[in-house]
């Protein structure tokens, strides 16, 4: 079967009326490319697990071309990524876990009888988004550093957030650079709990900006949690994922994580939301490409 996820599927009309048996298999290739980008570019990932994940991704792509056995490839990817976690489970980044769970979900879903696959892929992708957003919001709500504004304020004065926007803001970039140099010098000195370093704000009314920023983050995460919990097939849910990805891309370039979330959104999106499905594809290609670049 010669098919690529980036070209229109000749059987698209049939998919709209019913379920094409291998649709879930083929859709999973979007996540395979994100996985590929992650495994190829990530550092600090032991060689044997990476080799297993490479083999699994090769099997996924070959299986998609051959029209069978994709689930076994995903099982191998899940094993490879899980081996990467097993060595130091508490030190592995969260997007590594998301990819591992996603691979396992695809292995389970795509090993099902053909008529159940698409629904299982959608179901698992949906619940992964619910879990990610739910836990992310809880972590922020229980964190004194987040709720006091300490973390976000520091992120803004140190230039960790909204870096692309700084160039449009007068002297902001200069102030942030001064702050960064002062922080580096402070950090290199032997620590002393009495020492304090005052930093300058690059923007006026920083307190109000931080408050709005923090509340917006919580609202978006709670909205994604709620929408995917109660209305996973709605336009609002999928539009919000894309808006979240675009916003995150501007505020903080966590490109692998954004690509993973977009791929999960794509997998959970019903074919009836045709334009959103295509928008997901474009976003997945863009963010995966940027992550590799």
Q: Tokens 């998919």 sit at which residue?
A: 15
Decide: is 195 part of the binding site for other proteins (CB under 8 A). Answer: yes
Q: Which is nearer to other proteins, 98 or 279 (CB)?
A: 98
Interface stretch with other proteins, choices 25-33, 102-110, 270-278, 279-287 (CB under 8 A): 102-110
* Nearest C-alpha neighbor of 53 from the set 74, 30, 28, 25: 74
Decide: is 207 part of the binding site for other proteins (CB under 8 A). Answer: yes
Query: Rounded to the nearest 5°, which phi and psi values hold at 196?
Result: -135, 145
**CB 176 → other proteins: shortest distance, Å?**
13
* Nearest C-alpha neighbor of 48 from the set 72, 83, 86, 73: 83
Q: CA-CA distances (angstroms) from residue 240 to 90, 134, 161, 223, 243?
A: 31, 15, 20, 8, 5
Decide: is 53 part of the binding site for other proteins (CB under 8 A). Answer: no
Binding residues for other proteins, rule CB under 8 A, total 65
Q: Which is nearer to other proteins, 1 or 250 (CB)?
A: 250
Q: Which is nearer to other proteins, 11 or 139 (CB)?
A: 139
Q: How far apart are CA 70 and CA 82, in angstroms?
A: 18
Q: Which is nearer to other proteins, 4 or 143 (CB)?
A: 143
What the block records as the tokens of 163 is 């870096």
CA dihedral 241, 159, 39, 278 (to 10 degrees): 30
**CB 145 → other proteins: shortest distance, Å?**
4
**Given 72, 146, 270, 290, the residue binding other proteins (CB under 8 A):** 146
Largest Cα–Cα distance in the chain?
A: 70
Q: How far apart are CA 44 and CA 46, in angstroms?
A: 6
**Given 41, 94, 216, 272, the residue binding other proteins (CB under 8 A):** 94
**Given 40, 62, 68, 148, the residue binding other proteins (CB under 8 A):** 148
Positions in 219-278 near other proteins (CB under 8 A): 252, 254, 257
**CB 109 → other proteins: shortest distance, Å?**
6
What the block records as the tokens of 205 is 């009314």
Decide: is 47 part of the binding site for other proteins (CB under 8 A). Answer: no
Q: Tokens 């290739």 sit at which residue?
A: 29
Q: How far apart are CA 194 and CA 203, in angstroms?
A: 28
**Given 2, 91, 168, 204, the residue binding other proteins (CB under 8 A):** 91
Decide: is 6 part of the binding site for other proteins (CB under 8 A). Answer: no
Q: How far apart are CA 151 and CA 145, in angstroms?
A: 5
**CB 7 → other proteins: shortest distance, Å?**
29
Q: How far apart are CA 10 and CA 1, in angstroms?
A: 12
CA 141, 142, 144: angle at the middle one, nearest 5?
100
Decide: is 79 part of the binding site for other proteins (CB under 8 A). Answer: no
Q: Name the residues that contact other proteins, by CB under 8 A.
A: 85, 88-94, 97-98, 101, 104-105, 108-109, 111-112, 116, 120, 123-124, 127-128, 131-132, 135-136, 138-140, 142-146, 148-154, 157, 183, 186-188, 190-193, 195-201, 206-207, 210, 217, 252, 254, 257
């Amino acid at each position: 079967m010669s098919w690529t996820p980036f070209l229109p599927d000749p059987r698209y009309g049939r998919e709209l009326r019913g379920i094409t048996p291998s649709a879930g298999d083929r859709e999973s290739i979007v996540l395979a490319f994100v996985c590929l980008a992650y495994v190829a570019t990530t550092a600090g990932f032991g060689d044997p697990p990476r080799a297993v994940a490479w083999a699994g991704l090769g099997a996924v792509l070959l299986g998609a071309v051959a029209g069978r056995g994709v689930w076994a490839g995903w099982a191998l990817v899940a094993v490879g990524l899980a081996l990467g976690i097993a060595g130091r489970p508490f030190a592995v980044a969260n997007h590594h876990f998301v990819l591992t769970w996603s691979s396992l979900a695809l292995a389970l879903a795509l090993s099902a009888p053909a008529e159940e696959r698409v629904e299982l892929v959608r179901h698992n992708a949906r619940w992964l988004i619910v879990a990610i957003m739910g836990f992310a919001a809880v972590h922020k709500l229980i964190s004194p550093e987040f709720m006091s504004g300490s973390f976000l304020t520091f992120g803004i004065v140190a230039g960790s957030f909204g870096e692309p926007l700084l160039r449009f803001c007068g002297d902001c970039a200069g102030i942030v650079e001064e702050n960064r140099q002062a922080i580096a010098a402070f950090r290199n000195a032997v620590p002393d709990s009495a020492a304090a370093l005052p930093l300058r704000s690059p923007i006026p009314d920083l307190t109000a900006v931080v408050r709005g920023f923090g509340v917006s983050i919580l609202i978006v995460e709670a909205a994604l949690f709620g929408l995917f919990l109660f209305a996973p097939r709605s336009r609002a849910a999928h539009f919000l994922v894309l808006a979240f990805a675009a916003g995150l891309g501007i505020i903080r370039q966590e490109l692998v994580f954004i690509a993973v979330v977009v791929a999960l959104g794509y997998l959970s999106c019903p074919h009836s939301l045709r334009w959103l499905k295509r928008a997901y594809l474009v976003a997945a290609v863009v963010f995966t490409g940027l992550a590799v670049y």
